[in-house]
Amino acid sequence: MLSAASRPYIAASVPVLREHGVTITRCFYQRLFAAHPQLKNIFNMPNQESGAQQQALASAIFAYAANIDNPAALAPVISRIVQKHVSLGIRAEHYPIVGKHLLDAIAEILGAAATPELLAAWAEAYGLLADTLIAEERKLYQAHGVEPGEYRAVRIVRKQKESDTVSSFYLQAGDGAELPPFQPGQYISVAVNVAELSLRQLRQYSLSGAPDSGYWRISVKREEGSPAGLVSNLLHDQFQEGDVLWVSPPCGDFVLAPDDMDTPLVLISAGVGVTPMMSMLHSSLQLSPQRPVNFLYATLDGRHHPLKRELDGLLMRHSQMQSYVAYERPAANDCVPQDYQQQGYLQLAAVPDALLPQNAAYFLCGPAPFMRAQRNALLARGVPERQIQQEVFGPSLLEHLQ
């Protein structure tokens, strides 16, 4: 618990953080990478350039300060960070390094305003948060039976084109052993050497197959002309069947809980956000054949509709499943109602009520504006907030804390 002496300094620095958070974080990264260039292998370097990670860390620091007396609000944030850190192989010894450069950056940007008392308060607050994260991360590494930063070699046993931009990679253990189980909705980090940066980079991909299928499957979207697609494009262009990938254990807390198998399930996704939903869909259909599942999906058109054939097959075989598709700009050969039911962005107001039951468990995944729109539409329909879970790809901005 934060000491009484530090408390007013942290409380008073919230507005200062609001003003300088991103500048402090940018300065922090410059210092960190100058002193420890090898850490560039762990961080998403294109995100550094776009400023997305600056945002994520700035919001985490701010969220911590704003919620210092509210552990319940902080818990979901901690859980998300722990899962992400474990997939990245973050070690306990990284924390003092990050702490030092963060405090140095606060001191540099705030200048005279960074009094010894303020810096001591932040050192204490950072230390408390770091201790919590280290302890939780240690537990998770132990649960997975891996050392921090230990990756597993998996072989690409099948590479399958799923749409104009998405391909699936089916993975099996390099040594022929069985891969550990995962929870539907979880992701793995994939480590790839990026020659043009002279770095190894890690990226997270949701597992898109059924948990008991005997393989892990990731479905990767090519991001043409975008630095954000650096690793995804390498996977598309340079990794073929028979090649080996190095991957983390399955992580992430956006999961379909095995004990919630009675209430209807509604999975709403857009674009490549379909991937964790596919895993949840397979899992639900297999493990609770009585449970109704409604699968709502938004994409550009039929050529950008990954895993469509697999979905159509499931729909034919499982009477408890219903599907609803919106194409933003349908192509001439996309047909209503066989291929899609709504034109334009997905509008839940126009979706039949039967597909959106009040008592359902809702899972959302897709670009942030898409999820905001669907979440607001669900709340407007009277769906209680506690029944809605969402996954953000990329650094989350912790909107619910701000």
The residues, ordered by sequence, that sit 6+ positions from 208 with a Cβ below 8 Å of its Cβ are 168, 217, 218, 219, 274, 275, 276, 278, 279, 307
Q: Tell me whether residue 103 or residue 287 sits nearer to ligand HEM (CB atom).
A: 103
- Where does this chain touch ligand HEM (CB under 6 A) — which range of 16-24, 129-137, 150-158, 352-360? 129-137
- Please indicate whether residue 297 is annotated as part of the active site: no
Total of chain residues touching ligand HEM, rule CB under 6 A: 24
Sheet holding 361-365, edge to edge: 342-343, 321-327, 293-299, 265-270, 361-365, 388-391
CA distances from 42 to 7, 137, 203 (A): 33, 16, 10
DSSP type of residue 249: P
**Smallest distance, ligand HEM to C-beta of residue 137, A:** 10
CB within 8 Å of 234: residues ≥ 6 apart: 192, 194
The CB-of-148 to ligand HEM minimum distance in angstroms stands at 10
* Choice from 130, 146, 194, 261 touching ligand HEM (CB under 6 A): 130
Q: Does 133 participate in binding ligand HEM (rule CB under 6 A)?
A: yes
81 binds ligand HEM per the rule CB under 6 A: yes
Give the residue from 271, 232, 253, 266 showing the smallest Cα distance to 368: 271
Whole-number Å distance between alpha carbons of 102 and 95: 10
CB of 188 to ligand HEM, least distance (A): 14
**Cβ distance to ligand HEM smaller for residue 252 or 330:** 252
Residue 267 in the binding site for ligand HEM (CB under 6 A): no
Check residue 90 for interaction with ligand HEM (CB under 6 A): yes
Q: Of 47 and 286, which has the nearer Cβ to ligand HEM?
A: 47
Give the interface segment with ligand HEM, choosing from 86-94, 155-163, 181-189, 299-307 (CB under 6 A): 86-94
Cβ 280 to ligand HEM, closest distance in Å? 20
Amino acid at 65: A
187 is catalytic: no
- Nearest-10 crossing angle of helices 52-66, 116-144: 110
In the region spanning residues 34 to 63, those forming contacts with ligand HEM, defined by CB under 6 A, are: 39, 42-44, 47, 53, 56-57, 60
- Of the listed 64, 95, 126, 187, which one is catalytic? 95
User: Residue 287: which of 320, 311, 254 has the closest Cα?
Assistant: 320
Interface with ligand HEM, residue 199, by CB under 6 A? no
33 sits near ligand HEM (criterion: CB under 6 A): no
**17 interacts with ligand HEM by CB under 6 A:** no
One-letter amino acid of 106: I
* Type of residue numbered 147: E
Q: What length does the chain have?
A: 402
Q: CA of 141: how far to CAs of 75, 83, 147, 216, in Å?
A: 19, 10, 6, 20
Interface with ligand HEM in residues 376-395 (CB under 6 A): 395
Structure tokens at 177: 């052993």
| Residue 122 is a binding residue for ligand HEM (CB under 6 A) | no
Of 68-76, 93-101, 140-148, 326-334, the segment contacting ligand HEM by CB under 6 A is: 93-101
Report in angstroms how near the CB of residue 397 gets to ligand HEM at its nearest.
8
**Among candidate residues 357, 348, 360, the one with its CA nearest the CA of residue 388:** 360
Query: Hey, which residues are catalytic here?
Result: 95, 137
Contact positions toward ligand HEM, by CB under 6 A?
39, 42-44, 47, 53, 56-57, 60, 80-81, 84-85, 88, 90, 94-95, 98, 126, 129-130, 133, 395-396
